[in-house]
Structure formats: structure tokens, C-alpha cells
Chain A
Amino acid sequence: DVKVTQSSRYLVKRTGEKVFLECVQDMDHENMFWYRQDPGLGLRLIYFSYDVKMKEKGDIPEGYSVSREKKERFSLILESASTNQTSMYLCASSPALDRNTEAFFGQGTRLTVV
């Protein structure tokens, strides 16, 4: 089974802190994604990586950065956390989509910024 593991299920951080959310996949997938899920807004793509050290901005990259130094690991960084970044964060991975496959999701990290 494909496994996408997010390092924390729940996090509470203070405003202004630097926050790292970690995601690891064990299936040698090329693509990895970070989404933010908010009620009524669905899943919004923050960043996307299609290879090591390669990244593309999604729809809402402001206030976030990412790092992909190894194929299996994709980190989301909040440089200076703010209360409006309180949300559920979902990581996903997929092989190249032209292989008729899908994205596999982690269980999510619920981040609260106080």
C-alpha cells in the first residue's frame, strides 16, 4: 500500500513562529503536493513539486515556502506563522499523471496558530 505520512496530526504554534510541516512518501513518486483545506473552500493548492529541488506555486503560495531535497520528502514552511494560517494541511503524492494513476493523501495536520 502507498503510504503518505505527515509528521504531526495536531500542532499549536504562536504567531510569528517559523513552522515546518513534514511529509514523507514511500512509493518513489515524482509529484508531491501541499494543500490547505478550509470549510467551504475545499482543497486549495499551496505548492507542487514534480522532482527533487523543483517546485511550482499553486493558487495560494503567499506566506509559505517549500523544500524538496530528497524525492521522498516534501516540507512546507511557514516563515512567520499568522492566525489566518490556522487550517488543515494535507500532503499528497502521485506518480506522473500520464501513468493513469491518482494522488494519495496523508492524514493531514491540523495547525492552530494562536
Chain B
Amino acid sequence: AQSVTQPDIHITVSEGASLELRCNYSYGATPYLFWYVQSPGQGLQLLLKYFSGDTLVQGIKGFEAEFKRSQSSFNLRKPSVHWSDAAEYFCAVGARSSASKIIFGSGTRLSIRP
């Protein structure tokens, strides 16, 4: 069974600073990987996903993530954060099967310091 760990519960960064949110997964093979964002009072929106191919994935809003098989990681990065990036971020993993559960991590809350 797959599982996801997001070790950082809450991160605060200054506006304009770079950001990296950590995600580690457990799965016996190469999984499908996702990052979702949830702004306050809003639903979940997909930022980016990895299925195969290039291990550096570009997403919306200037985010990117890198799949590292050797480290079982899929960390999310942004070179310069904006105040509107304040939200909760969830990493998720799906098994390589058509009938696949999608399992989420516990989330990382991002605050932006003006």
C-alpha cells in the first residue's frame, strides 16, 4: 500500500524568497505523484503531476517539482513566492493501476511574511 509523508506542518517564508516543500512517498514501484493546493475556504486545485518521462515537472503558478526515485521524494519548489501563495499544500500518490487509490499526505501550511 502506498503512503505519503509531508514532514513540515507549517512553513513561513518571506515574500520574494524561494520555497521548497518536502514530500516523501512509500510505494513498491514508480508511482503517480501529485501536488494540490487549497487556498482558505477553497477547494483543492492541482498544481502539477508526474506520470513518467522528465523527472522535473512544471506546473501552474510558477511551481515545479522533481521526482527523485533514489530518495522516494517529490519536493515542490518555487523560486520566488507571492503573498497569494499562502495556502495549504498536499502531496499525493497513486498506484500504477487503472483502479488506483490516491493517498494524500497530511499537508504543509504555507504562510508568507510581508
Contacts and interface: CB of A to CB of B under 8 A. Distances in A.
A43 interface: yes
Interface stretch (A19-27, A70-78, A79-87, A89-97): A89-97
B90 A42 contact: yes
B104 A43 contact: yes
Contact of A35 (B97, B100, B104, B105): B104
Contacts of A43: 90, 92, 104, 107
B16 to A, nearest CB: 28
A42 B92 CA distance: 10
Interface string B45-62: 010010100000000000
B102 A33 contact: yes
B44 A31 contact: no
B24 interface: no
Interface in B76-114: 90, 92, 94-107
A69 interface: no
Nearest to A44: B104
A98 B44 contact: no
**Contact size class for A?**
20 to 34
B9 interface: yes
Contact of B101 (A30, A41, A56): A56
A112 B30 CA distance: 39
B63 interface: no
A105 B102 CA distance: 12
Contacts of A97: 32, 94-98, 100, 102
Contacts of B100: 31, 50, 96-97
Contacts of B43: 90, 105-108
Contacts of A100: 49, 51
Interface of B: 6, 9, 32, 34, 43-44, 46, 49, 51, 90, 92, 94-107
Interface of A: 30-31, 33, 35, 40-45, 48, 50-51, 54, 56, 58-59, 90, 92, 94, 96-98, 100, 102-103, 105-108
